[in-house]
């Protein structure tokens, strides 16, 4: 990686592989080892991301928290399941991971996008296991209708017969340049670290995305927002929802994306907006995101 764009790590990460439900799962850890007086904070990344990109947010913390960030199955450095991907498996993986690393102790969860959705559902399904919850742009998906099912299933069947296309790049620098082009608010140094987290070197020196390309397949099971909201209403833990002021994700939800809608389904929620940030707010504006998260964690 070009030394001129190297990101200076303030907190050195540690890497661990843990067997979770038959798969080797990669963890990135920062800070001291957890103890009875310092329980771990679990960071849950979003779709096509990895736990390592929480580096910027962790570096912006004032306090040295014991932090654990996993790579979900099929993302980052975690193993790829052969049978495909189903949302309940993420809940199962999280439940097992918490039993391994924080047995019997309610946990602090911080989730971005897909990770925020998983955290919110889990906090409603296992309310006794969650002490508090920070949700970074994990709003759920748009509502679906039964009439969409036939076309969705046809597309899924067609994708089963199509070889997965694994995009590759000449180098990490080329991947970093593309990431920065698509996410100009990252800057060069952050884009370089993200490229190292998202890519993996293969024979010949080329770089491929580490995530399983099957994540791009459609899910044959329609998303039911009503089911998600039923879980959300069971959340007992206090929750902080952070929204990027420049993000267009929330606008796609229409009436479901308003503060009033969120307060109607989440009984204990605070909402804050991050100026100058889009959907990837933990990478774009960690200096604004981290103090809000840290103050919330310290209060709960």
Q: How confident is the model at residue 290 (pLDDT cuts 50, 70, 90)?
A: very high
**Residue 286 has what pLDDT?**
98
Q: What is the 3-state secondary structure (H, E, C) of the chain?
A: CCHHHCCCCCCCCEEEEEEECCEEEEEEEECCCCECCECCEEEECCCCCCHHHHHHHHHHCCCCCCEEEECCCCCCCCCCCCCCCCHHHHHHHHHHHHHHHCCCCCEEEEEECHHHHHHHHHHHHCHHHEEEEEEECCCCCCCCCHHHHHHHHHHHHHHHCCCCCCCEECCHHHHHHHHHHHCHHHCHHHHHHHHHHHEEECHHHCEEECCCHHHHCCCCCCCCHHHHHHHHCCCCCCEEEEEECCCCCHHHHHHHHCHHHHHHHCCCEEEEEECCCCCCHHHHCHHHHHHHHHHHHHHC
pTM of the full structure? 0.95
Q: Determine, yes or no, domain membership for 13.
A: yes
Residue with tokens 């910027």: 56
Q: Determine, yes or no, domain membership for 109.
A: yes
CA 33 to mean position of chain CA atoms: 22
Q: What are phi and psi of 192, to 5 degrees?
A: -65, -40
pLDDT in tens, 264-286: 999 889 999 999 999 999 999 99
Q: Determine, yes or no, domain membership for 206.
A: no
Q: How confident is the model at residue 35 (pLDDT cuts 50, 70, 90)?
A: confident
**Residue 122 has what pLDDT?**
98
- Domain at 293, CATH number: 3.40.50.1820
Q: What is the 3-state secondary structure (H, E, C) of 218-245?
A: CCCCCCCHHHHHHHHCCCCCCEEEEEEC
The CA-based angle 237-243-244, given to 5 degrees, is 155
State how far the Cα of 176 lies from the Cα of 187, in Å rounded to an integer: 10
Q: Determine, yes or no, domain membership for 87.
A: yes
Q: Determine, yes or no, domain membership for 103.
A: yes
Q: Determine, yes or no, domain membership for 205.
A: no
Q: Determine, yes or no, domain membership for 245.
A: yes
**Residue 4 has what pLDDT?**
47
Task: Kindly calculate the radius of gyration of the chain based on its CA atoms and give it in whole angstroms.
Answer: 19
What range does the domain containing 53 cover? 3-144+224-299
Q: Determine, yes or no, domain membership for 216.
A: no
Query: Do residues 60 and 287 make contact, with C-beta atoms less than 8 angstroms apart?
Result: yes
Number of domains in the chain: 1
Of 85, 92, 108, 21, the closest CA to residue 219 belongs to 85
Mean pLDDT of the chain: 94
Q: How confident is the model at residue 2 (pLDDT cuts 50, 70, 90)?
A: very low
The tokens of 274 are what?
A: 């991050």
pLDDT in tens, 93-113: 999 999 999 998 999 999 999
The tokens of 17 are what?
A: 């592989």
């Amino acid at each position: 990686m070009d030394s001129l764009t190297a990101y200076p790590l303030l907190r050195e990460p540690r890497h661990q592989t843990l067997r979770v439900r038959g798969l080797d799962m990669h963890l990135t850890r920062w800070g001291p080892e957890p103890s009875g007086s310092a329980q771990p904070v679990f960071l849950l990344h979003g779709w096509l991301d990895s736990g390592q990109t929480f580096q910027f947010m962790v570096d912006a913390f004032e306090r040295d928290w014991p932090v654990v960030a996993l790579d979900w199955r099929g993302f980052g450095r975690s193993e790829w399941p052969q049978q495909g991907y189903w949302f309940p498996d993420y809940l199962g993986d999280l439940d097992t991971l918490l039993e391994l690393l924080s047995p019997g102790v309610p946990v602090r969860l911080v989730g971005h996008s897909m990770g925020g959705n998983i955290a919110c559902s889990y906090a409603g399904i296992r309310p006794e296991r969650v002490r508090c919850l920070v949700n970074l742009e994990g709003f759920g998906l748009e509502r679906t209708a039964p009439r969409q099912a036939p076309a969705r299933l046809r597309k899924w069947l067609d994708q089963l017969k199509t070889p997965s296309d694994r995009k590759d790049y000449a180098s990490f620098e080329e991947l970093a340049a593309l990431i920065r082009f698509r996410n100009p608010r990252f800057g060069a140094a952050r884009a370089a670290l993200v490229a190292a987290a998202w890519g993996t070197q293969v024979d010949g020196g080329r770089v491929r995305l580490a995530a399983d390309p099957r994540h791009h397949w459609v899910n044959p099971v329609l998303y039911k927002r009503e089911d998600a909201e039923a879980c959300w209403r069971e959340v007992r833990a206090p929750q902080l929802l952070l929204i990027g002021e420049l993000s267009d994700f929330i606008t796609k939800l229409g009436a479901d994306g308003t503060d009033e809608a969120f307060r109607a389904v989440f009984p204990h929620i605070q909402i804050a907006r991050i100026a100058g940030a889009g959907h990837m707010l933990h990478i774009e504006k960690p200096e604004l995101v981290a103090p809000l998260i840290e103050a919330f964690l310290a209060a709960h």
